[in-house]
Amino acid sequence: MTNQITLTGNATRDPEIRFAPSGAAVVNFGLACNRRWFDKQANEWTEEVAFFDIVCWRDLAENVVESVTKGTRLIVIGRMQQRSWEADDGGKRSRLEVVADEIGPSLRWATAQVSKNERSGPGFSTSGEEQYGQPVGAAPAGQSAPVAAGGGYGGYDTEPF
């Protein structure tokens, strides 16, 4: 069984970048997906809006923060993930979010010009065994990674995979 979702909508806020304890970039932003149809029985247009929290990791996160602003119409392909944690008041909390695998501009009402990023130097590895000159999962040498209260980013202590 595959857990894959494709969403088309507008970014509801500018992406915010943070870094996990491992040094991996993490970006969060909101996506509003509108659905509009004509209700023949009521003889009027009806609209429904669903809001999603989108999470991006590593290179995708860095590209999103450079490319996306509030209002940008996007196509997001990813997987649904439920995250649970204990709040400061001791209560249990849970959130459903989309961990993005791919994000691109929607060309329905706009045009886009895509430029390929050159990936080389520190932080780039084709083998996936090294990042920033350190083994994957290790923080870059001399870099302190900002994290949210409670450890990790937004409750993440480690990357989800």
Is 15 a domain residue? yes
CATH of the domain at 16: 2.40.50.140
Q: What are phi and psi of 107, to 5 degrees?
A: -100, 15
Whether 18 and 26 have beta carbons less than 8 Å apart is answered as yes
User: Helix, strand, or coil here: 63?
Assistant: helix
Q: Which helix or strand (DSSP H or E) is residue 83 part of?
A: strand 73-86
Cβ-Cβ contacts under 8 Å for 48 (sequence gap 6 or more): 34, 35, 36
Is 160 a domain residue? no
Tell me the C-alpha distance between 101 and 41, whole Å. Answer: 40
Tell me the C-alpha distance between 29 and 17, whole Å. Answer: 9
pLDDT of 22 strictly over 90: yes
Is 154 a domain residue? no
pLDDT of 44 strictly over 80: yes
pLDDT of 122 strictly over 70: no
Whether 51 and 10 have beta carbons less than 8 Å apart is answered as no
Is 56 a domain residue? yes
Is 144 a domain residue? no
Residue 158 tokens read as 């480690």
Residue 1 tokens read as 């069984």
Evaluate if pTM is beyond 0.85. Answer: no
Domain of residue 69 covers 5-118
Is 129 a domain residue? no
Sorting pLDDT into bands at 50, 70 and 90, what band is 120? low
Is 38 a domain residue? yes
Average pLDDT over residues 97-109: 94
- pLDDT by residue (tens digit) across 56-101? 999 999 999 999 999 999 999 999 999 898 999 999 999 999 999 9
Average pLDDT over residues 97-111: 93
Is 20 a domain residue? yes
Helices (H), the chain: 58-67
Closest residue by Cα to residue 23 from 57, 67, 65:
57
Domain count, the chain: 1
